[in-house]
Structures are given as structure tokens and as C-alpha cells.
Structure 1
Amino acid sequence: MSAFPLALPDDAELSARLSARIGQHWHRLLAALRPLYGEGAWEGELAARLLGAAIARPADLRALDQVREAAPDWFQKPEMVGYCTYIDRFGGTLAGTRARLDELSQLGVRYFHPLPLLKPREGDSDGGFAVADFRQVDPKLGSIDDLRALASDLRARGISLCLDIVCNHTADTHDWALAAKAGDAKYRDFYHVVEAADQVAAYEAHLGQVFPQTAPGNFTFVPEMQGHVWTTFYPFQWDLNYANPVVFIEMMDVLLYLANQGAEVFRLDSAPFLWKRAGSDCRGLPETHQVVRAWRAALAIVAPAVALKAEAIVGLAEVLPFLGEPEQPECHLAYNNTAMTALWAALATGDTRPLSTCLTQALAKPAGAGWLTYVRCHDDIIWGALKGVIPDETLARISDFYAGAVPGSFADGQAFQAEPGAVRSTNGMAASLAGVRDGADNAAALARLRLLYGVTFALDGIPAIYMGDERALTNDPDYAVEPDHDDGRWLHRPRMDWTRNGGPTHAAIARFAQLRQGRACLHAGNPARPLLTADPALLAFERADRGGDRLICLGWFKGDAMTTDLSGLLGSGDWIDLLDGTDVNAQSVAMAPWGLRWLVKKNG
């Protein structure tokens, strides 16, 4: 494998650190990329970009690099709690968000993920996921200086900033796309352009559709390009051509630039779609994983404090490869989408066995990687992620349940789109799907919401709070009134109501975060292991540390109280519920309607 082709900087301390990191990771970077691109001049450009970013890295971030190199499991610590929001919905602007950081600290947040905030195209931008400039902030939110200031304020509170990197595509108004439309051959090769209609049809025969109702198909005819541009998502989002090494280098440079502005985690949006191959579904191909491995190696050289998170909202078998292997690491984190989906399925059916199945499958995760666990996010709940775990007809009933189309349903959600023949996904805020209605008696609904979050906070990984859930914020019924918000997912993207009392849900979530702190068994390296119970409605799993710390989470997914003998599961000894401080007798464990317990050995 080739040596690094450039001389290191004169700064002795920086040079020594870079030399060590290059010795460890440069060969991994080339091993990932040479099978894709061969050997060539791109290697020198790659090295130059790495070196330039390393020299430009601010001193405080270099110091953070050292801290995290000494504690590479920083993102697995039990103290890690996440919060996800839109800047305009949360604080209005980046400056306004800086004034609201006490809310995060009160909830024990250590990881803050504002959804897309880089400069989008004008008009419809798919909620900011059509980026026109990766090095500028949406001017409605502030400037790149404001972003640096937010990152600095968060870091002072021990909170890591996560940014979205829309790595699969750019907006059709990005400078690269504009140059391509103007006839520049270099930039035309940044995208996939298919000239013949029969070639498009040949590709489409193997491809799925992300938005079959609002954006059917995967190609858009663009007259200026004299052909069909690959557009997996919307016609204004042009898929990048990663078979071109220049594209890889440019996107790597974007990651390094934003890392030097203070980003500590990158959410790799639409990661499974990066590589295209005729005759395949173009999802999660081996070459895609080589691209992600190469980004991981590049960051390890320049900014080892930074973690990658895979946005792969698919079944677990397709997610796990994005976490890589010990000798070929990819992302540090991935969404545990199947656990989230199965959690909502359990709430609708009273059957927690599919969730236990998903947790058992998740045990295949590499020990050095972590999950991002969550109750809701900005996207729809895609029931297809449970295909093979729950029968299709049951998934269809669950979809109908959350759309309020099943007698006795407590949910206030809406069905969303799906591919022909597939089960329609679900939109709605967590509180609304759990049955919260403004002005109603919401005791049972709030108990359901607490149950969902209590289970999520007990699972292994970073539990993430979705904006407003801590205040039981409900759906925005008027979402379509705003320009470019006709997409049904805006139902669960309301503006934060700061006048709304946080109440018991806020207190419960803050309590979950507090109890996680310093609890050895809740380190993400200790996975959630399901325990068998006699009643399918009773979820049980344990978290155990080699040092002897152990916690058992119980969740009761029915609306009536019950008492059961769990001595066979809990064994001997006295137990205490951390959540309310009460003693628990293993032979007579009482569960309230939609009840939750975090059990630990007394004096343990």
C-alpha cells in the first residue's frame, strides 16, 4: 500500500499526531477506494484535502480529538441522551436556538441533532434535504458564523452537535448541477444521466420507489442535460455519481469542512442509495459500504472526535452492515428502526414478541458501535421494516389502527404513501399516536407515551427525544397551509409551543435521563437482552455489566392493571424500582395500566 504522498506540517505536535493517524488509517482509506477507482492522480488530491483540513482544524477541536481518542466509546456512555428538532420550529433561528439551550440541559441532553439547516434550494426543498450549498447555512436560520457559535455553546455544555449530510444527492440548483446544465462535462459527470428511454426502463425494472404517489419513478428528464437525471427522491434532488472519484473527494471535503465548524456527528442521509449498478435495486450495494468506510478513515485522520451515523431506515439485516466489522469499521451509530417500529406495533396489538425478536436480532451489532434509539422522528413510521417479523395482514391492521380506522383505536394519526402492494406507513406526533387530545382526559395516553419513552431510554444506544415529545406536543392539523408543506409528514413537524406545560411527560423523560447517568449496565456496549415472559403483553429485557450492575426493564402493553409472579425471571433477592423507589417482590410484581418498571437489585 502506498505511503502518504505529502510532507507533513512543520508544527511538531500536529505532525506527530497526524503521522500516527496516517499510519493507522491511510492504508484503510486506500483499501476502500482503490477497488472503486484504481490508482491515479485522485490519490494526491485526496491527500492534499486531508492535510489542508487537518492544518485548518481549530485548536479546541484538536483538543477534543485527543480526549476522544483516549475514550473512543464516548458515544456509548450511558449519559448520552439525544434531542432532534428543526431549528425554525425550535428556536426560530440559530441565534434563537442558542437562547433555548437550557431546555436541553434540563432534559439531560448530550447530543443535539437539528434537522437539515444547510442552504436549501428555493421553494420546495423536501424539508431541507435538497441542499444548494453544503458550506452555507439556510439564510433564514442564520450564517455559518452562527452555526459555529451554536456548536461552541453546545460543546461548553457537553453536548455534541449532529448535522445532516445529504450525501446521496444535491439540489438541482447546486453550483455543480447548474454547471452541468450549462454544458460543463466535468460537472455532468457528477451526476447520473441516462440518455435513452429504454435504458431508463431497464433500470426502473429493478428499482423501488421512495415516494410512489408524490414522486413516482427514479428518473427525471432534464432538457438542458439532454437526458434523464437519476432522481431517487424528488425531481429536484439529483443523485450524485460516486463512481467518479472527484465526487467522493468533494463530499469528503464537505465533511471535513463542517467538522472544522464544530460538528461532532454526521447523519449520512440516504446512505444506502450511494452506489448504482444496473440490474440491482441500488440499495446497500458493497461499493456503498466501501465509500462509507473511506469516509470513516478520512475522519479518523483529520477529526477523530467525529462520529458517523447511518440513516438507513430499513430492516435490520440491511442496517447492520453499515456498522461494519472490527477490522473494517463504517458508521459509529445507526438508527434502530426496527425496534422503534416494533414498539409502536406492540402498543397497537398488545403483543411484544415481535419487539423481543427485533432486540434479539440487534444483538449482532458490533460491540464498538452504537444504536440511536427513538420513539418518533421527522419521517413516517415505515411498517415494511417489520416484513418477515410480523405478517403483512397484521401490519396492515396496525397501519389502519394508527390512522384511526379501527374501532376502539386511541390513535390520532394519518396513513402515508407506500409502494404498490405495500402497507401504508404512518404520520403523526408521538403524543397524538398515543392518544393525546388537547382538552381531553389524557391520563391513559400520557401513560402510553411514558411507556414508549421509558422502554427506549432503557435500551442500548443513544435515546433521542423528538421535538415537543417532552411536552406531549400534538399534531399540526394546519400543516398544509404553509407554502411547500403539502407533504403529509409535516403533520408531525409542528412549531414548538413554549407556553405548553411540560407536565408529567417532561418530568418523566428528565428522570429517565438522570437515572441513566453513571449506570454502568446502561453503557451501550451492554446490549438489551430479551427475557421470556408468560404474557405476550409483558415486555422484559435486561441490561447487565460485567462488573455486576444489572437492570431489568418491564413494560406492560395493556390498559388494565395486573399482578404476576416473576420469580422465575428475577430469581432471588430484593428488588427496587428505580422510577418510583418502591420495593418489588418478585413473586408479586404489580403493573399499572401501560405500566413501566426499571428494576435493580436492592442495595445494588
Structure 2
Amino acid sequence: MISTASIPTPYDDAVQARFAALWPIVESRFAKLYGADARGPAVLERLKTNLLKAAHARPEPLRALDAARAADPAWLHAPGQTAYTFYVDRFAGDLNGVRGKLDYLTELGVRWLHPLPLLEPRPGDSDGGFAVADYRKVDPRLGTIDDLEALAGDLRQRDMGLILDVVCNHTAREHAWAAKARAGDPAYRDYYIVLPDAQSAAARDRELIDVFPDTAPGSFTYDAAMGGYVWTTFYPFQWDLNYANPAVFAEMLEVLIFLAAKGAQGFRLDSAPFLWKQAGTTCRNLPQTYEIVEAWRAALSIVAPGVVLLAEAIESVEDVLPFFGGEESGCNLAYNNVVMTALWAALADGDAVIARRCLAVAARKPAQGAWLNYVRCHDDLIWNALAAYAPASDLRRWSNAYGNGEGFSRGRAFQTAEGGVPSTNGMAAALAGLTADADGDCLGARRLRLLYGIIHALDGWPLIYMGDEIGLDNDEAYQDDPLRAGDGRWLHRPQMDWSLAERRGEAGALQADLFATFARLGQRARRLATLGVAGPARPVEVSSPAVLAFLRDEGARPFLCVANVSDAPQDFELPPAFAQGAEDVLDGAPSPAGAVSLPPYGITWLVAR
């Protein structure tokens, strides 16, 4: 009698088909990266075995998710996939606390949860969790890996997904790999990069761009046990990994596979531009970095094809676009950082020229990828990201407006690399000039609603930063905490104020106005899908400098967003396709004819009939 165990199941057949299609890509990229390394063949063979084992062992609910996404290749580009990002402890205490807040997030219309680093960090200062001591454990203060898996299951039941932060450029100095390296294990010493003396380190430092010149100057840290200067791009306790070692490439891929089996539906690849190091360069956005990402994408697609990769690349658009992949797929998503920064710049000037310029550049994104559009995040607002699109005098003016009290903002200046202009810290409400005692019709609230109205109208996924939906303010108390006081970014990493959130149901309250607006934006963005709206946002040239207009016209019906970035009313003459009566998707107001009149910081979404 033939054992039924030997008969391939349809799922086994699907795995073999994916393997046949994708493994050659992994081999190709691996050969380009490690073809001359004698360790390469053994690492690749072990990786092949582990990939197939993980693919066949994928839990049934996750297989179903993969199959559903495979059956709908356009799912990634569906409008209104609202994401919500937060620190677990500051939002709800721990992972079980997050599970208890899912009704709130559902009410807001959230489709994706993106908690910031929650894997086990080093003790003490961990750069907000970005110094990981163990990729396979959760920070004990937040829960366990079982709690994480339970949260992922709860989210699937609500048709929501979980995106995890994976800090792939560096580990904590306390990670087991680093401990073995410091103990003298030659295999693990090659997981990191060590220069022999101060002169060598200083010479390489001159080639690099200093990330934290005030709080952690330089990119090398002396370690006696390592016998030299360890590469530490960010903080001395964060040791950069050596991706010239094929074992490091395989280790991090297996971390992704492990977490995907726990229910993660996406990964944010932290500090992705820094992965590959090469003398004579700034060690950012090198070709090998893009090849690593393409290899990871192909390998992960063998095991978990429904899982998305998000590139955390806060760079020029030209450097970000290759993260989406070249001949083969790379990351599914990348932060639309240049457009985000340009929108704040446009508000500072009441002039949309910089936003139009950056939208045109962002529209060059390849069709297979999607932008993650956002207004604020846990990091600083980096004006130097606009250096390729605006003169230095503009960068300085915007930096001063938002960080030095020269405009409506209540933000604060942050450090910058030599030759740059200071970045800005602050919550979106503070940067928009919104105060807690204001009402929903004040200019600050209008600015905040406008920014979120724009990012929900763009192609891609809109991201809400925790608390923006209730106008949460800066956290001035961070300076009283010794572990946070040295890093000004904690100004915009407050505790969630649930007493304010309770006011979202209170008629006339600012929180009610903002929360309802954010929820409606997600609903209206999802309606765009039913109306056949598709394609990249391309700027429309207009006579008024204060008006930002963009068109998306690659679907069944053209879509036009018109926004006033100034504090004065603006009129806009509609293009012919919209002039004879269009559907006002955002407000459901009577269709405009010929022209629209926008109040200060007003916005309208129109779909041609």
C-alpha cells in the first residue's frame, strides 16, 4: 500500500512551483554578492533546505492568506489601506493591551498595525528599541512571542495585518552574535566590521555622513575585546552587521522567516540603505544593498508570498526607487519621505511649488511597488532630504520656521550632519500650530486635516502616527527621564492620552472633529477603489502658487485632488473632464461646475462622472 504521506498535496505543489520560479533569483543575487566567497556554497545549500522546510511547515491560516493575495495581484494597490504606527508601551502598555484597543483602531478604520521595535532590546538605552539583543524574543516588558502570535491572529480575524520592525543593519552590542565575537569566535567576529586602529577609523569616517553628530559623533567605537574599532553607524552600542559575510545575509533572512511563521504580514527593514559597506563611498544605497533586498524578497516569497517588505530609506527619490526592485521585485513599499517633507515645506510658505516638484519625481515609482504616505513618524523631520529639489536657502527657511519658532510651529530643532540644516522634532499637531485648547475650525486643525487629506488621496498606503487622530501634543516630560533626555526625538514619542481619546465621541470637541475626519478619510479612500480610481498622483500645473492639484487617471474614472496650502481662500478652475459635474467623494457636497472655491487649508476630492 502506498503511504499517503508521499502523495504531494496541492499546497506542496504550490511550494514547488514557487521554488522553481524564485530560487533561480535567489541564486543569481547570491552569486553576485558572494560568488567569490568560499563559504557561499555551504550557506546557500543550507538556506535552500531551510526555505523548503519553512514553506511546507507554514501554518494553514497563513497559507490561506497567501492564497487570497495571490488570487488578487492588485491587492497591494487598493486605496485606503490605512496603517497605524506606535510604540507598544506608549500606546497600550504591552501586547495584550494592544489587543484590548483593537476596537478603537477598527473604529478609526485601520487596516495595518505597525508597532515600532518590540523585539528584545539591550538593557538601558536601546535607541527606542532599535538596538536588538534577540530577534526571536519579544521585549519582556511588552509580552512574549506567544502574545505576539495571538495579536497577529486577532488582527487576521479583523482583516488587519501586522508589520514588524526588523533592525537589519545592526544588532545590540549585547546580542549573542556580538558576545561570541567578543569571546574570540572567528566565525562570529566576521559578523561585524572592525578596523585595526584609530587612523583607519578616522580615514573611513571622512567618507561617511555622520548620522548623529551631536549625540553619537563618528561611525566607529573602540572595543578592547574586538581588538579595534567596531563599525557603529548610529550609536556605540549598535554594531553594524557585515553583509559581505554570506552567513549574515542568511541569518537575517531566517529571522524574517521565523517571524512570518508567527503571523507577521510585513516587515519594515530598518536602516536599509546602510547594509553594504565599501571603501571610497558613503556606504549608503550601494548596488549590493538593492541586490540583498531582491534576494530576500524572492526567498521570502517561496515561504510566505503574502508578506510585504517596507524599505525604511529616508533618502532622495532616486536612491529610494531601486528598493522596489530592478529586473526582479524588491520591497513592496517604501516611505514617501520626499513628498511628506515637501508638504510641510509647502505649508510653511503657503506655496505648493516644492510639493508639485516632488510629486512629479515620486510618480516615477515602478508599478509593482507602492508608497507609504505619511505626515509624521517617530523620527525627526529631515529637511536635508529635499536637498536635491530645493536650494539650501529654502531648506534653512523651512528648518527655522518649524524648529526655531519663526512660524506657526511649536517644533524644535534637532541635530544635522556637517553642511546640512537642522532637522525638526515635534508631533504633527505641534508642527501644525495646533494647541490642546483649540477648536476643530482653527488654522492648526485645518493644517493637520489638510495634510492627512492629501496623503489619503495619493496612490499608496496612508500611515497615521499614534495620537495624530486626536491632536496629541508634544511630550515635554521626556527631558525628566534620564534614558530619554539625551535624544530630542522623544519630544514626539508621547504616551497615548486615553482620556483625550474618550472625547472623540463628544460633540464639539477637537478630538471628535479630528477622529471623525481621519475615519472618514479612510472610508472615502476605500470608496475610490469601487469607483475605479487608479494610477500614480501626477501634479497639475495651476496659476495659483497656493494650490496643489494632482490627477490620478489610469483607472476607469479620473480622480482629482485639489488642496489649498495657504491661509487665504483660493479659487481653482477645473479641467474639462471635471468641469461639467464631478462626484465630490470627500464631502458628498453638490458637484462643482467650472471651478471650486477652497477655504484656508481646504481640500476637495473629485471623480469625473
SS of residue matched to 2:164:
strand
Offset at 1:529?
Answer: 1.1
Please give the per-residue CA displacement for 1:189-248, whole angstroms capped at 9, x wherever unaligned. 100011122221221121111101101111000011111000000000000011111111
Offset at 1:572?
Answer: 3.5
Offset at 1:586?
Answer: 4.0
Give the TM-score, by structure 2 length.
Answer: 0.94
1:333–1:525 Cα change, 3 Å: farther
1:537 maps to which of 539, 546, 551: 546
Q: State whether residues 520 and 545 of structure 1, in contact with CA within 8 Å, keep that contact through their aligned partners in structure 2.
A: no
The residue that corresponds to 1:207 in the other structure is 208
1:559 equivalenced with 2:567 (yes/no)? yes
Q: State whether residues 552 and 558 of structure 2, in contact with CA within 8 Å, keep that contact through their aligned partners in structure 1.
A: yes
1:37 maps to which of 34, 38, 53: 34
Q: State whether residues 312 and 335 of structure 1, in contact with CA within 8 Å, keep that contact through their aligned partners in structure 2.
A: yes
The residue that corresponds to 1:349 in the other structure is 349
Q: State whether residues 551 and 558 of structure 2, in contact with CA within 8 Å, keep that contact through their aligned partners in structure 1.
A: yes
2:600 maps to which of 593, 598, 603: 593
Q: State whether residues 316 and 388 of structure 2, in contact with CA within 8 Å, keep that contact through their aligned partners in structure 1.
A: no
- Between the aligned partners of 1:333 and 1:588, the Cα distance in structure 2 is 35
Q: State whether residues 534 and 552 of structure 2, in contact with CA within 8 Å, keep that contact through their aligned partners in structure 1.
A: no
1:383 equivalenced with 2:383 (yes/no)? yes
- Between the aligned partners of 2:550 and 2:11, the Cα distance in structure 1 is 46
Offset at 1:42?
Answer: 1.6
SS of residue matched to 2:73:
coil
The residue that corresponds to 1:3 in the other structure is none
The residue that corresponds to 2:128 in the other structure is 127
Offset at 1:524?
Answer: 8.8
Offset at 1:574?
Answer: 1.1
- Between the aligned partners of 1:35 and 1:391, the Cα distance in structure 2 is 38
1:559–1:532 Cα change, 3 Å: same
The residue that corresponds to 1:581 in the other structure is 588
- Between the aligned partners of 1:70 and 1:255, the Cα distance in structure 2 is 23
Q: State whether residues 461 and 524 of structure 1, in contact with CA within 8 Å, keep that contact through their aligned partners in structure 2.
A: no
SS of residue matched to 1:215:
coil
Q: State whether residues 404 and 410 of structure 1, in contact with CA within 8 Å, keep that contact through their aligned partners in structure 2.
A: no
SS of residue matched to 1:309:
strand
More deviation in 424-433 or 78-87?
Answer: 78-87
- Between the aligned partners of 2:319 and 2:584, the Cα distance in structure 1 is 36
Offset at 1:78?
Answer: 1.2
Offset at 1:579?
Answer: 2.5
- Between the aligned partners of 1:189 and 1:113, the Cα distance in structure 2 is 32
Q: Which amino acid aligns with 1:582?
A: A
The residue that corresponds to 2:413 in the other structure is 415
The residue that corresponds to 1:480 in the other structure is 479
The residue that corresponds to 2:449 in the other structure is 450
Please give the per-residue CA displacement for 1:107-127, whole angstroms capped at 9, x wherever unaligned. 211111000000000000000
- Between the aligned partners of 2:452 and 2:488, the Cα distance in structure 1 is 24
SS of residue matched to 2:310:
strand
Offset at 1:576?
Answer: 4.1
SS of residue matched to 2:257:
helix
The residue that corresponds to 2:516 in the other structure is 507
Q: State whether residues 350 and 567 of structure 2, in contact with CA within 8 Å, keep that contact through their aligned partners in structure 1.
A: no
- Between the aligned partners of 1:236 and 1:522, the Cα distance in structure 2 is 51
- Between the aligned partners of 2:143 and 2:18, the Cα distance in structure 1 is 35
1:309–1:51 Cα change, 3 Å: same
Q: State whether residues 264 and 307 of structure 1, in contact with CA within 8 Å, keep that contact through their aligned partners in structure 2.
A: yes
The residue that corresponds to 1:173 in the other structure is 174
Please give the per-residue CA displacement for 1:511-543, whole angstroms capped at 9, x wherever unaligned. 111111242388895110111110111010112
1:435 maps to which of 428, 433, 436: 433
Q: State whether residues 352 and 557 of structure 1, in contact with CA within 8 Å, keep that contact through their aligned partners in structure 2.
A: yes
- Between the aligned partners of 1:88 and 1:11, the Cα distance in structure 2 is 45
SS of residue matched to 1:190:
coil
1:16 equivalenced with 2:17 (yes/no)? no
Offset at 1:10?
Answer: 6.2
- Between the aligned partners of 2:141 and 2:93, the Cα distance in structure 1 is 9
1:516 equivalenced with 2:517 (yes/no)? no
1:522–1:111 Cα change, 3 Å: farther
- Between the aligned partners of 2:173 and 2:421, the Cα distance in structure 1 is 31
The residue that corresponds to 2:309 in the other structure is 308
Please give the per-residue CA displacement for 1:154-174, whole angstroms capped at 9, x wherever unaligned. 111111100011000000000
Offset at 1:593?
Answer: 1.1
The residue that corresponds to 2:247 in the other structure is 246
SS of residue matched to 2:499:
coil
Percent sequence identity over matched residues? Answer: 51
1:529–1:29 Cα change, 3 Å: same
1:471–1:40 Cα change, 3 Å: same
Q: State whether residues 73 and 368 of structure 1, in contact with CA within 8 Å, keep that contact through their aligned partners in structure 2.
A: no
Query: Where does 1:177-326 land on structure 2 (aligned, <5 Å)?
Result: 177-325=178-326
1:10–1:285 Cα change, 3 Å: farther
Q: Which amino acid aligns with 1:435?
A: G
Query: Where does 1:154-165 land on structure 2 (aligned, <5 Å)?
Result: 154-165=155-166
Q: Which amino acid aligns with 2:134?
A: D
- Between the aligned partners of 2:463 and 2:572, the Cα distance in structure 1 is 33
Q: State whether residues 579 and 595 of structure 2, in contact with CA within 8 Å, keep that contact through their aligned partners in structure 1.
A: no
1:41–1:375 Cα change, 3 Å: same
- Between the aligned partners of 1:129 and 1:78, the Cα distance in structure 2 is 31
Offset at 1:390?
Answer: 1.5
Offset at 1:62?
Answer: 1.2
Please give the per-residue CA displacement for 1:21-42, whole angstroms capped at 9, x wherever unaligned. 0111000000001122125212
Q: Tell me how many residue pairs correspond in the alignment.
A: 590
Q: Which amino acid aligns with 1:346?
A: A
Q: Which amino acid aligns with 2:104?
A: E
SS of residue matched to 2:498:
coil
Query: Where does 1:56-205 land on structure 2 (aligned, <5 Å)?
Result: 56-205=57-206
More deviation in 60-69 or 299-308?
Answer: 60-69
Give the TM-score, by structure 1 length.
Answer: 0.95
Please give the per-residue CA displacement for 1:269-311, whole angstroms capped at 9, x wherever unaligned. 0001000011111001111111111100111101101111100
Q: State whether residues 329 and 368 of structure 2, in contact with CA within 8 Å, keep that contact through their aligned partners in structure 1.
A: no
Offset at 1:13?
Answer: 3.0
- Between the aligned partners of 1:75 and 1:575, the Cα distance in structure 2 is 27
Q: Which amino acid aligns with 1:484?
A: L
1:522–1:167 Cα change, 3 Å: farther
SS of residue matched to 2:41:
coil
Q: State whether residues 112 and 160 of structure 1, in contact with CA within 8 Å, keep that contact through their aligned partners in structure 2.
A: yes
1:392–1:577 Cα change, 3 Å: same
- Between the aligned partners of 2:236 and 2:523, the Cα distance in structure 1 is 45
The residue that corresponds to 1:494 in the other structure is 494
Q: State whether residues 163 and 266 of structure 1, in contact with CA within 8 Å, keep that contact through their aligned partners in structure 2.
A: yes
SS of residue matched to 1:422:
coil
Q: State whether residues 240 and 274 of structure 1, in contact with CA within 8 Å, keep that contact through their aligned partners in structure 2.
A: yes
The residue that corresponds to 1:550 in the other structure is 558
SS of residue matched to 2:476:
coil
1:567–1:59 Cα change, 3 Å: closer
Q: State whether residues 82 and 463 of structure 2, in contact with CA within 8 Å, keep that contact through their aligned partners in structure 1.
A: yes
Q: Which amino acid aligns with 1:478?
A: A
- Between the aligned partners of 2:350 and 2:325, the Cα distance in structure 1 is 34
- Between the aligned partners of 1:332 and 1:521, the Cα distance in structure 2 is 23
Which stretches in structure 1 are left out of the alignment for 5+ residues? 1-7
More deviation in 72-81 or 188-197?
Answer: 72-81
- Between the aligned partners of 1:479 and 1:127, the Cα distance in structure 2 is 13
Q: State whether residues 402 and 410 of structure 2, in contact with CA within 8 Å, keep that contact through their aligned partners in structure 1.
A: yes
Q: State whether residues 533 and 555 of structure 2, in contact with CA within 8 Å, keep that contact through their aligned partners in structure 1.
A: no
More deviation in 435-444 or 166-175?
Answer: 435-444
